[in-house]
Structures are given as C-alpha cells and as structure tokens.
Chains A and B, each alone.
Chain A
C-alpha cells in the first residue's frame, strides 16, 4: 500500500477515503430539522457526504446522533515530532542497583493527589507498597524513600513537605479533569515552585489518565505519565534522570575547575 505520509487521511476500507465516524448530541428536539442540523454540523467539521445513521431522542429537548462521513482534511505525518521520554524502562532490581551504584544514597520521592481531587487510585498504584499489575510500588524500593501524602493536598502544603523531606522528586496525580481543573492545579504547583525558587531543586512529575508526557512538558514539568504507567516506569525515569543530572553537575564543576586552572 502506497501511503503518502505527507498527506494522510482517515481510513475506512479504501486508501484516502477519509471515512470517519462521529457521535454527538445537539440541544434540539429530535426530528427532521434535528437530523439536518446534525448533517450541517458534520459538513462544517469537514466531513463530506455526511450520513446520519442514528438519531435518538434523549428527552428534555436533546438529540443524539451517530454519523459517518468522509473527512476532507489531511495531515502531514512526515514532519511530526512528539517529545518522548527517552528513558528505557528498568526493572525493580535494576532501578535499585542504579541508585545504589551511581548515587550512593537513598532518594526521596513525595507524592500526592493535589487540590480538591480525592481520587488516589493512580498515586496509590504507583507509590503504595503493593503497586499495580504485579509491579511493586515505590514504597517497596529499598533505595527509595517514598511518602504518599494522600488526597486533597494543597499545592503549598506539598511543597512545604517536599522541602522538609528534602525530596528529590515530587509526584502529582490528577484524576478529576472536569472543566480542566487538573491543568489549573498543575500550573499552580509549578508557579508556586518557581516563585519559591524550588523548581530546580527537585524533579517535578505529574500523572493521571488524561496526562501525557507532552502535556507535562508544556506545563513545565520534567515528565508526565499517562494511562498504563507502572511503578517501575516512574522509578526508572526518576533514577536515571537524577543520575544524569548528577553527572552534568559533576561535569560542570570539572569544567569550572579547569577554567580556574587556565587563569
């Protein structure tokens, strides 16, 4: 199949057919006019020859539609670059061994569900002893001191605790995303950390079902972890990144030293 990666269209059963399914609700009563409104909506979305395959009356003046159409848009796949975590995933043993060998001290991780979010499922899966899907949580790592502060922790409180515990990394979990509350919360934490001059003292990492690494970077975090993340993914990143930073620091000092020698 000869796909032109510079002009990729959605695929149904024939290359470049642009086939696409969408479903949505309109706040209008069901009927012929509603069906036409849905069709026009699809046209405006760039779906050619839209066909409403299902119209359902949701009551109280709402109507639900399922539509098929041919999307006229194409995207240039050949130029897409998505920031990714380069870190390869290590096992529980490998992470602990790396920390022991390269850092020679236990690392401190402070984790919390911040703001009004009370959903600790994610943070618990990563941090709690038991872990998730057969992978031990960070609490179980002999070379990591993990503190799970639980839910509804204020951003300021999280930072205070992180300073008290001399944290190497902060993990923030955000599950509730209604009206983008997670973005507000995450942004506030970064801003607070920057205002207090703490941003560079520790790794700042966020996670949650609607978080991606790309989003995390955009918000000013060092890394982000989305659905499917296991404790060792996070641990691998933290350990490797701390080692990398330590080497840079050591390298920087050497350079400085050399400069001095030259003088």
Chain B
C-alpha cells in the first residue's frame, strides 16, 4: 500500500461489507464440493512436490506417467501419495527411482503390497514435511534478498518478454532489469494452457511466448539474479499458474523462486474453455501452494475488458475481484499476496474516459486497500499508431500513480504490432518512470468533488457490482458463468477441456499437503468478509 487509503469516493461502507459478504457466500458454495474431488494435475503436483522430475525419452513427464499408471489401476481416487509411500516402504527407494521404474515398465502399480497405514503415513508425512521445508527455504531466500535490495518504488514497473526462446528471454529479461524493471514476466507459449502436462527441460521454440518449464524458470531466475547484483534491486519473476496444470506450475514456481504467478480462479474457464469443475478444484490447490511459497498471485479481471466494453462492464471487474479475493482467502492467501487485476481499457474516443478510469482505479484501491493491485495497460483500442499509443500509455501511468496502484504492467507502444522489442520495453519504462516520479504525490493532493463525475461513477460501479454479486449468490457461480455474466463469454457447466481429469475422492484419499499448506504458521490472518 502506497499511501493511507482515504474514503475519497464517499463509498458506503455498508455496501462494501455487503459485497464482500456476498462474495464470501459465493465462494463457500464452491467450497462445499471442491474438497470432494481431486484432479490429475493435483496428483501430479503432489508427485512434483515430492521431488519427482524429468521425462521419458518421448518427453512424457514422470509425474504424468505415474498418475496415468495409478489411474489405469483404479487407484488414483485415493491420491498418488498413499501408493508412492507404500512403494517407498516396499522398495526403500526414492520417489524419483520409483517413478523411473514405473516408466521403464520394471515396476507395476499392482506389485506394491499393502502395509500398515501408520507405516506409510509416517513416510508420506516425513517426505511432505521435507518438501514444505524446502519451499520455506526458498521463501526465506527471497525475503532475505528483498531485504538486502533497494526497496522498489510504487507502482512497480512490470514488463514482459516473449521471444519463444528461453535463452533469448534471459538476455531480454536481464536487459529489462538493468533498464529499471521491477517485475519481469516470461509470456507463455500460447498453446500451453491446453497441454495436460508440463514440458520438460529448456525450450527454444514457442509462439507468442516460451513454454513454462522448470528449467526455463531456473534460467530466467539466474539472469534476473545476475542483474540484481549490478542494480542492487530485486527483480521479481512472473509466470503463469494457469491452464490445465495450475498446481504443477505453482510447484515449479515455488521451487525456482518465482515471485508472482498469474493465478485466477475463473480465467481458464472463460478464456481457455477449460472445464469449470476442473478449474475450481485446481485453483484451490494451486493457490494454496502459492500462498505457502509466499508468491503473489495476479488475477485476470483485466481480460474481461478485452472482450466486453470497459465502460458498460466495469462493475463485472469489481464483482469478480471480490470473488477472487474470497476464493484466495480460502486457499490461505493473504491480502498482501493478491494482485487483483483490472485494466485501462476505456475507449480513448470517449468523452471523460479518463475520469471513468480514475473512478474505477480509485475504487479498486479503496475496496482492496491491502492488495497489491495489478493494473493492465491499454490493448483493445490500441492500433499501430505508436505515437498515439505512447500517449495513451502515459495517461494510463498517470492514473496509476494518482490512484496508488502497485503492479503496473507497462503498455508497449507497439502493442497490436508485435511482441515487444528490447527498445519498446525501454521506452515504456522511461514513460512510466517519468510520470511516476513527476507526479509522485499527486494522489495525496487530490480530492474528488462530492457528488462529482468520479464519485458518482465509483458509487454506481459498486452498486452494480453488489447487484451482480447478489444475483450470482442466488443462482450460483456456475450458472452465472453459463449465462455469460463475465466477459460476455458463456461456458457450459460440463463442457470445456480437462473434465475427464476430475476424480471424486475415495474416502481414504490422502494428501498431507492440504493440511500443511492450510496450517501455515507464517501466514497472518486474512480478512474473511
């Protein structure tokens, strides 16, 4: 939080409370059933947490092989860990060795004998405890590095690299950090969200971005740490815990010290047509991992405004932020870890469009005072006129510093033309750095006229968001999504990809990580309601 948040918009605190409570009820309705299921990627994430890594010669990850084998023998509904722990008891081998034996065909799932529950549970809990301690060590390392570094100015400067080749990404990421970026995201290959596995090893070909692999995470992390030694600042690394492998990517990020993850509760359903049930179950475990690892999540409300109109549908962003917040709290995330998203997508031709943006951004700030809000740049109404785009980006930066946003994804003057050139990034950083410095305390000096355009718009947005939340509460979030209440996109309850990966939990299902992550002694209480 940058400055103490005043009630500049003259919001009715009762309305705010009502919105939050309603969103809480919506989240509770999902949580009434989320815990009855597991998914293939949750079980693969458990395998990865226990150190299972690598892939066979045709590129199938060990985690997938093990989960597929367990599914084939009908044992996956109990979870991967009970079987793995029994295999460890029987063979006295590491999880990795057991996975490799399964992959080689020298070990069959059925050949592992049963053993006393306390015996395998002891093994499982010990391994899980070690894995959790490893995650905490990475978190402590991050905190220590951040402590030593020069603290970042707010809003923090966030840029993306997207070459498709991880080695090229590393060069560009390092250059961006040297130019002053606080946050660097490696955009993911456009097709990865629909892959039901995580590719293995370094990758040099990808379109629209680079595959998220653990090795790629490591390579870019190293490049940013190298830059930090020169700049004295800590550069945050971002990737995408989204798609069909949300929790697995969270695990990789926790191990490789990523600092932020795009990790929305509904994005996959809306924008990638992933099965609803699968997404709601996956996001829960995925977010628990991020919470435990001290990773800041970014939510994807900004995307709504790329399909729906920013002025007409501004309230859907607010409603969704409340839902994302309540679901995140139920996965153990602190408010300080919730980079709730929104975007500067008002049509530049609109009279007083800037005022509408100020109202929306200030509203987000006041509704979620402890969250590091993520503000996304103009993309929808941006054309190949780089000069105009550069100016619109300046307005976007001005609104951001005025309203105390924290994670500022910088607009590129070549948006809608190509993935950013190295110079585009430099120009965007310069644009933002100039405005953030030149207008640093503008927010502290400005109050909004009572009953004026900005206050009125904000009050209207909150009221509409409240109404929408109440409607969703009545019909349930799934039905709301079937009706196209977010982003104007309709998704059927049982449609979408990855539905076959949802498995009803057996009564003997066991996964010690749920308990470990939800009883994190380092976490402070978040604000439920």
A binds B: yes
User: Which residues of A approach B to under 8 Å, CB–CB?
Assistant: 23-25, 56, 58-60, 62, 64, 115-121, 124, 128, 130, 150-152, 176-179, 181, 209-210, 227
Q: Which residue of A lies closest to B231 (CB)?
A: A59
Contact A176 B175 (CB under 8 A): no
Contact A116 B423 (CB under 8 A): no
Contact B174 A176 (CB under 8 A): no
Q: Which residue of B lies closest to A125 (CB)?
A: B307
Q: How far is the CB of B382 from chain A (nearest CB, A)?
A: 10
Q: From known contacts A179-B164, A227-B383, infer whether A117 and B190 are also in contact, taking CB-CB under 8 Å.
A: yes
Contact A117 B208 (CB under 8 A): yes
Which of B175, B307, B418, B419 sits near A60, CB closer than 8 Å?
B175
16 contacts between A and B (CB under 8 A): A58-B422, A58-B423, A59-B175, A59-B179, A62-B422, A115-B207, A116-B190, A116-B191, A119-B208, A121-B307, A124-B307, A151-B272, A151-B273, A178-B419, A227-B383, A227-B384
- Give Cα A62–Cα B425 distance, bound, in whole angstroms: 12
- Give Cα A59–Cα B230 distance, bound, in whole angstroms: 11
Contact A176 B207 (CB under 8 A): yes
User: Which residues of B approach A to under 8 Å, CB–CB?
Assistant: 162, 164, 171, 174-175, 178-179, 189-191, 193-194, 207-208, 271-273, 306-307, 380, 383-384, 416-419, 421-423, 426-427, 488
Q: How far is the CB of A42 from chain B (nearest CB, A)?
A: 16
Contact B272 A25 (CB under 8 A): no
Residues from chain B with Cβ under 8 Å of A115 in the complex: 207
Q: Which residue of A lies closest to B188 (CB)?
A: A118
Q: Which residue of A lies closest to B173 (CB)?
A: A60
Q: Which residue of B lies closest to A176 (CB)?
A: B208
Residues from chain B with Cβ under 8 Å of A176 in the complex: 190, 207-208
- Give Cα A99–Cα B171 distance, bound, in whole angstroms: 55
Q: Which residue of A lies closest to B194 (CB)?
A: A152
Q: Which residue of B lies closest to A24 (CB)?
A: B423
Contact A177 B191 (CB under 8 A): no
Q: How far is the CB of A230 from chain B (nearest CB, A)?
A: 14
Residues from chain A with Cβ under 8 Å of B208 in the complex: 116-119, 176, 178
Contact A25 B421 (CB under 8 A): yes
- Give Cα A88–Cα B272 distance, bound, in whole angstroms: 36
Q: How far is the CB of A63 from chain B (nearest CB, A)?
A: 9
- Give Cα A119–Cα B384 distance, bound, in whole angstroms: 18
- Give Cα A25–Cα B191 distance, bound, in whole angstroms: 30
- Give Cα A132–Cα B162 distance, bound, in whole angstroms: 28
Residues from chain A with Cβ under 8 Å of B194 in the complex: 118, 152
Q: From known contacts A152-B191, A178-B419, infer whether A121 and B306 are also in contact, taking CB-CB under 8 Å.
A: yes
Residues from chain A with Cβ under 8 Å of B488 in the complex: 128, 130
Q: From known contacts A58-B423, A64-B426, infer whether A118 and B178 are also in contact, taking CB-CB under 8 Å.
A: no
Contact A60 B178 (CB under 8 A): yes
Contact B423 A118 (CB under 8 A): no
Q: Which residue of B lies closest to A209 (CB)?
A: B416
Contact A23 B423 (CB under 8 A): yes
Contact B418 A58 (CB under 8 A): no
Contact B174 A60 (CB under 8 A): yes
Q: Which residue of B lies closest to A133 (CB)?
A: B347
Residues from chain A with Cβ under 8 Å of B179 in the complex: 58-59
> 5 other contacts beyond A58-B426, A59-B179, with CB at 8 A cut-off?
A58-B179, A62-B175, A116-B207, A124-B307, A152-B190
Q: Which residue of A lies closest to B497 (CB)?
A: A152
Q: How far is the CB of B152 from chain A (nearest CB, A)?
A: 17
Q: How far is the CB of A30 from chain B (nearest CB, A)?
A: 12
- Give Cα A118–Cα B190 distance, bound, in whole angstroms: 6
Question: Which of B164, B383, B423 is the most central at the interface, judged by chain A CB atoms within 10 Å of its CB?
Answer: B423
Contact A60 B171 (CB under 8 A): yes
- Give Cα A128–Cα B487 distance, bound, in whole angstroms: 12
Q: How far is the CB of A28 from chain B (nearest CB, A)?
A: 13
Residues from chain A with Cβ under 8 Å of B419 in the complex: 178
Contact A116 B189 (CB under 8 A): yes
Residues from chain B with Cβ under 8 Å of A23 in the complex: 423
Contact A64 B423 (CB under 8 A): yes
- Give Cα A2–Cα B271 distance, bound, in whole angstroms: 54
Residues from chain A with Cβ under 8 Å of B178 in the complex: 58-60
Contact B190 A177 (CB under 8 A): no
- Give Cα A256–Cα B507 distance, bound, in whole angstroms: 76
- Give Cα A222–Cα B164 distance, bound, in whole angstroms: 32
Q: How far is the CB of B279 from chain A (nearest CB, A)?
A: 16
- Give Cα A150–Cα B423 distance, bound, in whole angstroms: 33
Residues from chain A with Cβ under 8 Å of B380 in the complex: 121
Q: From known contacts A116-B191, A117-B208, A178-B207, infer whether A56 and B272 are also in contact, taking CB-CB under 8 Å.
A: no
- Give Cα A115–Cα B419 distance, bound, in whole angstroms: 18
- Give Cα A124–Cα B272 distance, bound, in whole angstroms: 13
Contact B418 A178 (CB under 8 A): yes
Residues from chain B with Cβ under 8 Å of A24 in the complex: 423
Contact B272 A118 (CB under 8 A): yes
Residues from chain B with Cβ under 8 Å of A60 in the complex: 171, 174-175, 178
Q: How far is the CB of A67 from chain B (nearest CB, A)?
A: 13
Q: How far is the CB of A147 from chain B (nearest CB, A)?
A: 15
Residues from chain B with Cβ under 8 Å of A116 in the complex: 189-191, 207-208
Question: Which of A62, A124, A130, A150 is the most central at the interface, judged by chain B CB atoms within 10 Å of its CB?
Answer: A62
Residues from chain A with Cβ under 8 Å of B162 in the complex: 178
Residues from chain B with Cβ under 8 Å of A177 in the complex: 418
Residues from chain B with Cβ under 8 Å of A117 in the complex: 190, 207-208
Residues from chain A with Cβ under 8 Å of B190 in the complex: 116-119, 152, 176
Contact B171 A118 (CB under 8 A): no
Q: How far is the CB of A22 from chain B (nearest CB, A)?
A: 12
Residues from chain A with Cβ under 8 Å of B171 in the complex: 60
Contact B175 A179 (CB under 8 A): no
Q: From known contacts A25-B423, A62-B422, infer whether A181 and B273 are also in contact, taking CB-CB under 8 Å.
A: no
Q: How far is the CB of B362 from chain A (nearest CB, A)?
A: 28
Q: Which residue of B lies closest to A177 (CB)?
A: B418
- Give Cα A177–Cα B414 distance, bound, in whole angstroms: 13
- Give Cα A32–Cα B170 distance, bound, in whole angstroms: 27
Q: How far is the CB of B303 from chain A (nearest CB, A)?
A: 10
- Give Cα A24–Cα B421 distance, bound, in whole angstroms: 9
Q: Which residue of B lies closest to A181 (CB)?
A: B207
- Give Cα A118–Cα B273 distance, bound, in whole angstroms: 11
Question: Which of A64, A117, A178 is the most central at the interface, judged by chain B CB atoms within 10 Å of its CB?
Answer: A178
Q: How far is the CB of B94 from chain A (nearest CB, A)?
A: 36
Q: How far is the CB of A33 from chain B (nearest CB, A)?
A: 19
Q: Which residue of B lies closest to A228 (CB)?
A: B383
Q: Which residue of B lies closest to A118 (CB)?
A: B190
Residues from chain B with Cβ under 8 Å of A119 in the complex: 190, 208
Residues from chain A with Cβ under 8 Å of B421 in the complex: 25
- Give Cα A119–Cα B419 distance, bound, in whole angstroms: 14
- Give Cα A161–Cα B177 distance, bound, in whole angstroms: 47
Q: Which residue of A lies closest to B272 (CB)?
A: A118
Residues from chain A with Cβ under 8 Å of B164 in the complex: 178-179
Q: How far is the CB of A148 from chain B (nearest CB, A)?
A: 11
Q: How far is the CB of B346 from chain A (nearest CB, A)?
A: 14
Nearest first, the 7 A-B pairs at minimum CB distance are A59-B178, A116-B191, A60-B175, A176-B208, A64-B423, A118-B190, A25-B423
